[in-house]
Amino acid sequence: MSRPPLLLIEDTPSLQMVYQATLRGAGHEVVTAGTGEAGLAAFGQIKPGVVLLDLMLPDRDGLDVMRHILTTDPAAHVIVITANGSIKKAVEAMRAGAHDFLVKPFDNQRLLHAVENASHALQVQSATAEPSRTDAPLGDFIGSSPAMQDVYTRIRSVARSMATVFITGESGTGKELCAQAIHSTSNRAGGPFIALNCGAIPADLLESEVFGHLRGAFTGAIADKIGAAAAADGGTLFLDEICEMDLNLQTKLLRFLQTSTIQPVGASRPRKVNVRILCATNRDPMESVRRGQFREDLYYRLHVVPIHMPPLRDRGDDVIEIAEALLTKFAREERRSFTGLSAEVKEIFRRLPWPGNVRQLNNVLWNVVVLNEGQNVTPAMLPLDLRPSAGPADPPPGPGMAHPLRGLAGKTLAEIERLVIEDAIRRHNGSVPRAARELDVSASTLYRKREGWMRTTSA
Indicate the pLDDT class of residue 424, thresholds 50, 70 and 90. Answer: confident
Q: What is the largest CA-CA distance in the chain?
A: 81
Residue 31's contacts (CB-CB under 8 Å, 6 or more residues apart) are 5, 6, 7, 8, 42, 46, 48
Buried/exposed 311-335: b ≥16 CB within 10 Å, e otherwise: bbeebbebbbbbbbebbeebbeeee
Q: Which amino acid is at 328?
A: T
Q: What is the DSSP string of 17-65?
A: HHHHHHHHHTT--EEEESSHHHHHHHHHHH--SEEEEESB-SSSBHHHH
Output the pLDDT for position 446. Answer: 78
Q: Are 165 and 307 in contact (CB under 8 A)?
A: yes
Mean pLDDT of 366-374: 91
Output the pLDDT for position 326. Answer: 94
Q: Are 165 and 210 in contact (CB under 8 A)?
A: no
Mean pLDDT of 112-126: 79
Is it the case that residue 16 has pLDDT exceeding 80?
Answer: yes
Mean pLDDT of the residues in the chain = 85
Q: Which domains does the chain have, with CATH numbers?
A: 6-128 (3.40.50.2300), 146-310 (3.40.50.300), 312-396 (1.10.8.60), 399-459 (1.10.10)
Is it the case that residue 212 has pLDDT exceeding 70?
Answer: yes
Helix axes 318-334, 343-351, angle to 10 degrees: 120
Is it the case that residue 330 has pLDDT exceeding 50?
Answer: yes
Mean pLDDT of 264-272: 87
Alpha carbons 120 and 99: distance in angstroms, whole number: 12
- Comparing 28-42, 112-126, 243-257, 281-295, the range with the smallest average pLDDT is 112-126
Alpha carbons 334 and 159: distance in angstroms, whole number: 37
Q: Are 64 and 39 in contact (CB under 8 A)?
A: no
% residues pLDDT > 70 (the chain): 89
Indicate the pLDDT class of residue 432, thresholds 50, 70 and 90. Answer: confident
Q: What end-to-end distance do the CA atoms of the chain give, in Å?
A: 56
Output the pLDDT for position 85. Answer: 62
Q: What is the pLDDT of residues 158-205, one digit of tens each?
A: 887 888 999 999 989 999 999 999 999 888 888 999 999 988 888 778
pTM: 0.68
Read off φ and ψ for residue 187, nearest 5 degrees.
-75, 0
Output the pLDDT for position 457. Answer: 52
Q: What is the pLDDT of residues 216-234, one digit of tens each?
A: 888 888 888 889 999 999 8
**Residue, of 452 and 371, whose pLDDT is higher:** 371
Output the pLDDT for position 340. Answer: 94
- Cis before 58? omega within 30: no
3-class DSSP state of 123: helix
Residue 147's contacts (CB-CB under 8 Å, 6 or more residues apart) are 310, 314, 315, 316
Alpha carbons 23 and 386: distance in angstroms, whole number: 63
Highest mean pLDDT among 251-260, 340-349, 391-400: 340-349
**Residue, of 427 and 279, whose pLDDT is higher:** 279
- Comparing 31-40, 379-388, 413-422, 424-433, the range with the smallest average pLDDT is 424-433
Q: Are 221 and 215 in contact (CB under 8 A)?
A: yes
Output the pLDDT for position 391. Answer: 45
**Residue, of 212 and 426, whose pLDDT is higher:** 212
Report the sign of the C-alpha dihedral through residues 210, 211, 215, 218, in that order. Answer: negative
Measured from the Cβ of residue 94, the count of other Cβ atoms closer than 10 Å reads 21
Residue count of the chain, please give it. 459
**Residue, of 179 and 432, whose pLDDT is higher:** 179
176 has which bridge partners? none
307 has which bridge partners? 167
Output the pLDDT for position 187. Answer: 83
Q: What is the DSSP string of 386-436?
A: GSGGG-TT-PPPPTTSSSTTTTTTT--HHHHHHHHHHHHHHHTTT-HHHHH
Mean pLDDT of 241-251: 90
Is it the case that residue 430 has pLDDT exceeding 80?
Answer: no
Q: Are 127 and 92 in contact (CB under 8 A)?
A: no
- Comparing 71-75, 177-181, 183-187, 312-316, the range with the smallest average pLDDT is 71-75
Is it the case that residue 425 has pLDDT exceeding 90?
Answer: no
Q: What is the pLDDT of residues 372-410, one digit of tens each?
A: 999 999 999 998 878 775 444 444 444 444 444 455 666
Output the pLDDT for position 392. Answer: 44
| Cα→Cα distances 424→220, 312, 366, 436, 440, Å | 33, 21, 22, 8, 11
% residues pLDDT > 90 (the chain): 44
Q: Are 52 and 24 in contact (CB under 8 A)?
A: no
Mean pLDDT of 28-38: 93
Output the pLDDT for position 127. Answer: 55
